[in-house]
């Protein structure tokens, strides 16, 4: 992931696999690698995106601050928060790295991105972010530093995520469209299924920084779909909310059925406390 220079990069894996830490360090690495301007300063500006401000503050910024703290400059808790880091390198140059943290969860969030001049962008948990936002954020990369200061040595967008649903735009790009210049890095799952049992995957990453039974402890009490996505690092569908029928299993009951030509589609709905609907065709 760190060695790849593609403009669009995605790190996908289970919880606990240090994806966020890798993304934090990617900004640091690229800031240090930025070629210095004529004044000997390595300028870069980064946008960090999360879907909501509570998640941004309690997860993303907290992870960032745990690594860097105030060693290179204090965080400013404005709206949006930012961190201006300045530190010297052994070659006599100085790194000026500006990091802006934003949550983009409103109806017109693309407007907030227009006019931003960025080196690059990190989207934390990109499976929670709509494609138009990602597209707009990517369009703002490569605009800082200006060409009179040498331009960006590298620019682009990178992201981390748990495995998305199979109908997510990210799945379509990774498995179906495979756009040129897009790279997807899939980490091994924390667990792997052998027969009917989930077992610890010896190929899992970051195990040395986790409790010995971190993954196995999370299997009891969780549904198969959740284990598959968040522990096994497989594409899937995680049910959320209150189901009408608790026995419903997406893997069993949801099947693709071709419509019957020239027969009307009927919808029967119940708008009670647990609204439900059936969509059907009645064959001859």
Q: Is the peptide bond before 145 cis (omega within 30 degrees of 0)?
A: yes
pLDDT in tens, 157-182: 999 999 999 889 999 999 999 999 99
Higher pLDDT, 190 or 277: 190
Q: What is the DSSP letter of 187?
A: P
Let me know if 151 is exposed, middle or buried by CB neighbors in 10 A (0-12, 13-18, 19+).
Answer: middle
pLDDT value at residue 175:
93
pLDDT value at residue 143:
97
pLDDT value at residue 239:
62
Q: What is the DSSP letter of 116?
A: -
In whole angstroms, what is the distance from residue 224 CA to residue 10 CA?
25
235-249 mean pLDDT: 67
Residue 240 pLDDT greater than 80, yes or no: no
Contacts of 74 (CB under 8 A, 6+ apart): 83
Q: How far is CA 8 from CA 49, 144, 173, 189, 242, in A?
A: 15, 17, 11, 23, 36
pLDDT value at residue 39:
97
239-248 mean pLDDT: 64
pLDDT in tens, 99-140: 999 998 666 677 889 889 999 999 999 999 999 999 999 999
pLDDT value at residue 277:
87
Residue 280: which H helix or E strand, with range? strand 276-280
In whole angstroms, what is the distance from residue 181 CA to residue 208 CA?
33
In whole angstroms, what is the distance from residue 44 CA to residue 230 CA?
33
pLDDT value at residue 69:
92
pLDDT in tens, 208-231: 999 999 999 999 999 988 999 999
pLDDT tier at 1 (50, 70, 90 boundaries)? very high
Q: What angle do CA 10, 12, 16 make, to 5 degrees?
A: 130
Q: How far is CA 164 from CA 30, 225, 238, in A?
A: 27, 12, 9
CB atoms closer than 10 angstroms to residue 132: 11
pLDDT in tens, 2-32: 999 999 999 999 999 999 999 999 999 999 9
Residue 95 pLDDT greater than 90, yes or no: yes
In whole angstroms, what is the distance from residue 143 CA to residue 119 CA?
6
Residue 247 pLDDT greater than 80, yes or no: no
Q: Which residues are registered as beta bridge partners of 278?
A: 268
Reading the block at residue 262, the tokens are 């020239």
Residue 145 pLDDT greater than 80, yes or no: yes
pLDDT tier at 186 (50, 70, 90 boundaries)? very high
In whole angstroms, what is the distance from residue 16 CA to residue 128 CA?
18
Reading the block at residue 10, the tokens are 């995605």
């Amino acid at each position: 992931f760190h060695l790849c220079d593609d403009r669009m990069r995605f790190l996908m894996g289970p919880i606990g696999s240090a994806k966020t830490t890798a993304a934090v360090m990617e900004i640091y690495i690229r800031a240090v690698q930025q070629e210095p301007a004529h004044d000997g300063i390595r300028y870069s500006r980064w946008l960090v995106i999360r879907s909501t401000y509570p998640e941004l503050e309690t997860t993303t910024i907290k992870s960032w601050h745990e690594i860097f703290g105030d060693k290179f400059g204090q965080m400013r808790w404005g709206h949006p928060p930012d961190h201006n880091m300045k530190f010297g390198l052994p070659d006599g140059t100085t790194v000026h790295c500006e990091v802006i943290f934003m949550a983009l969860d409103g109806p017109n969030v693309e407007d907030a991105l227009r006019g931003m001049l960025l080196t690059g962008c990190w989207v934390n948990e990109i499976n929670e972010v709509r494609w138009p936002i990602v597209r707009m954020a990517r369009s703002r990369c490569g605009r800082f530093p200006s060409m009179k200061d040498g331009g960006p040595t590298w620019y682009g967008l990178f992201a981390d995520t748990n495995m998305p649903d199979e109908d997510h735009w990210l799945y379509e790009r990774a498995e179906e469209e495979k756009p040129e210049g897009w790279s997807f890095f899939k980490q091994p799952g924390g667990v792997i299924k052998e027969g009917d049992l989930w077992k610890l995957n010896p190929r899992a990453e970051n195990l040395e920084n986790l409790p010995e039974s971190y993954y196995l402890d999370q299997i009891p009490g969780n549904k198969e779909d959740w284990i598959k996505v968040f522990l096994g690092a497989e594409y899937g569908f995680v049910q959320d909310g209150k189901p009408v029928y608790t026995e419903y299993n997406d893997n069993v009951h949801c099947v693709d059925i071709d419509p019957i030509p020239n027969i009307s589609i009927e919808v029967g709905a119940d708008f009670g406390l647990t609204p439900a609907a059936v969509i059907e065709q009645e064959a001859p």
